[in-house]
Amino acid sequence: MAQTNEPEKIRLEDKQEEYLKLEVGKLNNEVGKLLDEANSREKYSITIITGVAGWVLANIRDEEFQLLIAISFIPFISTLVYGISVLFIYDNIKWIGEYLLKIENYYLENPSELDGKGWGWEKYYNFKNSNKRFVKTTKFLWVLQIVLCLTLFVVVYKKDSIFPKKSELQQTKCCKK
């Protein structure tokens, strides 16, 4: 049988059990705070995209092309920064989950059961979320935000072909009469 780095399971004293419960509670609280922070950064990113897109589209016919290009690039930069920071948050959550799983494997019965019947939230969560739908959806939404940012940038860059100037519209109406 292969040797592991895990110590043999021992009966916990009351103080140890209490400490373990407190530690797990603190870690679960930390995960909740990290998820809230990730959600708020996603909301900030979406707010910046919609706010800047609204302003840019309202001013798209202005002659200040360089200003429009610069401002339309803001959502891309902020989404990239927020996205990277959220990636680090999810890495931190994953590390906490790995540690909780280690605690569960050490202190709870039947740690090797992979059918969702073993004790502990991490085992149950890993079994039920084997397809990681939440993670896939979150990644898709961040990619969608990047695509929206780049689309805004392209719309500004190609504004003359998408939004003809008012004088050009009036000339085409005059010529058609």
User: Which range has highest mean pLDDT (95-99, 162-166, 170-174)?
Assistant: 95-99
Q: Does residue 138 lie in a domain region? A: yes
Q: Identify the residue with better confidence: 35 or 126.
A: 35
Res. 174 pLDDT band, cuts 50 70 90: low
For 124-141, the pLDDT digits (tens) are 565 555 556 777 888 899
CB atoms within 10 A of CB 38: 20
Q: Give CA–CA dist 68/73, Å, rounded.
A: 9
Q: How many structural domains are present in the chain?
A: 1
Q: Does residue 123 lie in a domain region? A: yes
Q: Does residue 172 lie in a domain region? A: no
Q: Does residue 90 lie in a domain region? A: yes
Picking from 104-108, 120-124, 132-136, which range would have the lowest pLDDT averaged per residue? 120-124
Q: Does residue 7 lie in a domain region? A: no
Q: Does residue 28 lie in a domain region? A: yes
Task: For residues 112-131, give the mean pLDDT.
Answer: 55
Give the range of the structural domain holding residue 117, as residue numbers without chain letter. Answer: 14-166
For 62-93, the pLDDT digits (tens) are 778 888 888 989 999 999 999 999 999 999 98
Q: Does residue 133 lie in a domain region? A: yes
Quote the pLDDT of residue 83. 94
Question: How far, in Å, are 4, 48, 102, 123 from residue 119 at the CA level?
Answer: 21, 43, 12, 7
Quote the pLDDT of residue 1. 42
Q: Does residue 4 lie in a domain region? A: no
Quick one: CA torsion of 153, 154, 157, 159, rounded to 10 degrees? -110
pLDDT surpassing 50 at residue 2 = no
Quote the pLDDT of residue 46. 95
pLDDT surpassing 60 at residue 123 = no
Quote the pLDDT of residue 94. 87
